[in-house]
Amino acid sequence: MYTQRLGSSQHDIEKAAEILAKGGLVAFPTETVFGLGADACDDLAVAKIYEAKGRPSFNPLIVHVSDVGMAKRLVEWNDQADHLAHAFWPGPLTLVLPMRTDAGVSKLVSAGLPTVAIRIPCHPIAQSMLRAFDGPVAAPSANLSGKISPTRADHVLNGLDGRIDAIFTEGHSENGVESTILHFDPNPTILRPGTITAADISSVLDQPVARLEHADNIIAPGQMTSHYAPRAAVRLDAKDWHAGEKRLGFGDVTCELNLSPTGDLVEAAANLFAMLHQIDDMDGDRIAVSPIPNHGIGIAINDRLSRAAAPRD
C-alpha cells in the first residue's frame, strides 16, 4: 500500500474525508498526538486500525467529532458534560458517556462496552477534516502498538508508512501528551491523566474529581480476565462440533455464523462483537468457536475470545 502525503489545503482536506468515507485510514495531527483515523461507524474500517497498529487487544477507541451537536447524537448527554464541553472543548479532554442506541458506532470502537469515549480536538487540520467528513472518526494514536506516541508526521511514517492510506505531513502536536479521559460512574473520575487536571475539572463542576486506582467493574478491556462474557459457555479452538453447540466459524466450515468464510482476519475482527451478540441470542447455552490464526490482528481476536471464554466469578 502506498501512503499518500497530504498538505493542509482544502483539496487535501477533502481528499482525506473521501478516503475516510471509503473505509480508509488517515493519520492526522491533533493538539495531543497524531491520531490514526477511520470512520467510527464502519466495522471493517475500524478493524483496519487494529491491523495497522498491530494492536494486541481490542481496547476502546476515542471518537473524534467536529462539534457538540454531533457528540449529542452519539452519547447520552448530561449537565456535567455540558459544563465541561463549554469549558474545555475543543481541547484535550475525552468524556466517557453512555452510547445512544441509535448512535450507529461500531462495537469495535467501544470494545463491546455500553459507553463511548468522545472528544473534540482543537488542531485546525483535525477540525477541518472532521467538518469535511461530517461524521465521527475513531482514532487511537498513530503508532505501532507499544511504541512511543507520535507528535510529528515522521514519527508516524517510521512505523506506519505503507500500512495506512494517507497522512497529513503538515502540522505537529503541541501537547505531546494524550488527552485526559473522564468517566462518570456516577461521580467524575479520571481514567487517564492529561494536561487538563483534576483541579481544572473540579473548578468547573464545583465538586471533587477522583482518580481511578482500581476497577471492580469493567470500564475498559484488560481490567478483568472475563470480559463481556456471553450468557452461553464458550469453547475455543473447536476443530469439530459437539451436539447442542452454537457454532461460530472461521474459514471453510459449516456453522450458524461465520466470522469470515474466506479466512480474512480483518473481516473476522470487524464481525466479532456483532456476531458474539447474535449467536448469544440464539437458542442454546454453549458456543463453540473455530480456531483463529494467532498472528497479526488474529492476536487481538483471540485475546477478546479468551476473555469471553474465561471462567465466570
pLDDT in tens, 4-27: 999 999 999 999 999 999 999 999
Q: Do 51 and 122 share a domain, yes or no?
A: yes
Structural domain includes residue 167: yes
The confidence band for 214, taking pLDDT boundaries of 50, 70 and 90, is low
Structural domain includes residue 86: yes
Q: Do 263 and 139 share a domain, yes or no?
A: no
Assess whether pLDDT exceeds 70 at residue 63. yes
Give the end of a domain, one of 156, 176, 211. Answer: 211
- 151 and 33 in contact (C-beta within 8 Å)? yes
Q: Do 194 and 251 share a domain, yes or no?
A: no
Q: Do 191 and 240 share a domain, yes or no?
A: no
Give me 261's grid cell: 468464510
Residue-level pLDDT at 298: 85
- What share of the chain in percent tops pLDDT 90? 66
Which residue in the block uniquely carries the three cell numbers 503541541? 174
Structural domain includes residue 201: yes
DSSP letters for 50-98: HHHHT-SS----EEE-SSHHHHHHHB---HHHHHHHHHH-SSSEEEEEE
Phi, psi (rounded to 5 degrees) for 220 = -145, 150
Give me 172's grid cell: 505537529
Structural domain includes residue 224: no
Structural domain includes residue 136: yes
Number of domains in the chain: 2
| Complete edge-to-edge strand list for the sheet that includes strand 286-289 | 233-235, 286-289, 246-249, 257-258
Domain span at residue 183 reads: 4-211
The confidence band for 312, taking pLDDT boundaries of 50, 70 and 90, is low
228 vs 240 pLDDT, higher one: 240
Structural domain includes residue 217: no
Residue-level pLDDT at 224: 41
Q: Do 197 and 261 share a domain, yes or no?
A: no
The confidence band for 204, taking pLDDT boundaries of 50, 70 and 90, is very high
Alpha carbon distance 204, 181 (integer Å): 16
Find the CATH number of the domain harbouring 82.
Answer: 3.90.870.10
Find the CATH number of the domain harbouring 254.
Answer: 3.40.50.11030
CB burial of residue 10 (10 Å; 0-12, 13-18, 19+):
exposed
Q: Do 56 and 188 share a domain, yes or no?
A: yes
Structural domain includes residue 218: no
**DSSP class of residue 214?**
-
The confidence band for 307, taking pLDDT boundaries of 50, 70 and 90, is confident
**Residues in CB range of 68: below 8 A, 6 or more apart:** 85, 89, 120
Q: Do 194 and 305 share a domain, yes or no?
A: no
